[in-house]
Structure 1
Amino acid sequence: MEPELRHLRAFVAVAEHRSFTRAAQDLYVAQQALSQQVKALEEILGVQLLARSSRRVDLTLAGSAYLADCKRLLAASTRATRHVRAVAAGEAGRLRPAYSLSAAYETLPELTDRLTRQHPGLKLETREIFAGDACRALRDDRCDIALVPAPPGPSLTIEAVWRTDHRHPATTHLLDVCADLYGAEDRPAAG
């Protein structure tokens, strides 16, 4: 059996407070439950981490060594949680916009500049495609969104196209930047 994050949190709290009572208050758990978690951790590891007396709690040599590792693991867990939430919200991760030549010189540089400034955790992997290949590139998962010329009309506009069955969360940010650049009425159409 391996220690769980709850065991590590309990141990770190007790080690930092040097008191089960204060650690339990800090974690909003019953002191008995906290004591059981630390004891279970010591049993899992097969070592004593804390030297307990009626008046204080001290770290053993093994406890001191383990404390630093526990803090790193808990910090890594927190970073991983934040990162996965940011990716799910389209704030981080990778977005692969494809663009046709008509978007290459004016639209794409402005879009990528603003998008990377507003969402620095988002990595863009742009690729040029022929406008007629946009649907195939999306279907073959070579891009997440395509910027291609809109159907003929009074002026040349760029249209954003994406798969309806698999929309990357960051496409919303790209579309918002488009709306900021071109006005809400000229926001690229979805397809």
Structure 2
Amino acid sequence: MDLQQMRYVVAVAETRNFTRAAERCAVVQSSLSHRIAGLEREIGVKLFARSSRRVELTSAGEAFLVGARECLAAADRAVADAAAAGGVVRGRLAVGVIVTTAAVDVPEVLQRYRARYPDVHVSLRAGGSDELAGAVRDGELDIAFLGMPVGEKPSGVETVVLDHDQHVLVVPADHRLAGASRVTLRDLADEAFVDFMPGTPARAQSDQAFAAAGLARDVAYEAGVAELITRLIARGLGVALLPSAFIRPLAAGDPELALVPVVDGPHRIEYLAWSRFNPSPATRALLGVLGVRR
């Protein structure tokens, strides 16, 4: 058994197709199939169930895949650590980001990072804060930009606070409250709301604020991305509470939206989170670019 065989297994598992897996690994399909068949003979179990139309992992394949990914990650880390010891940062860096990140210009940071560390392969994944924090804990991501309600903090990871922010009310430009100097949550109790999906920290921020005020609200539309939320608002379908640092630059160039301060609205804390167990050289390099001292 060798690392290349493990890479072939992972590629087939992820593409569910021998041809696409061979293309990904830059080998001919017959060679990839032969190496996997040899591995199956060596360990005495079938890793894949094959037919003319589909490929699926067997239960043995599912078990093997977990260890194979761990071995490949360890091998990549060994190479990266050796290079870092010689003063060269290389390897992989998996970054997570929430769509409403505002404390840091993530594309600009990644541009500076690439200029300084061109040998690092960077991947970017968007998602909810809970999901991304879990991925950092599980080793799927190296570092993530998160947003959490006040009083909540990502667990099981190292964190540093990037910014504190307060939500503002986002309404259509012709809404009755568009010209108000400020509003309270009670002023909004009868409005139809557009918000993020239930169970996410982005949604919890507003839910907790209304619960603390002893108020109920009607969330008529739920969306996974902020851009859809603002489009629904612009069509007059509802209002929303969104982080001010995120929404102000977007609304400044949009005549269909208006922002109103909320006296007792939600607050959010933006965090940078990374693994507390032996962060990789690539991760430490990004922390350095961000000016974070560990």
Task: Give the shorter-chain TM-score range.
Answer: 0.3 to 0.5
Question: Of the two structures, which has the highest relative contact order with CA contacts closer than 8 Å and spacing of 6 or more?
Answer: 2
| Higher strand content, 1 or 2 | 2
Per the normalisation by structure 2, the TM-score is 0.29
Q: Which has the larger radius of gyration?
A: 1
Q: Could you state the TM-score of these two structures normalised by the residue count of structure 1?
A: 0.45
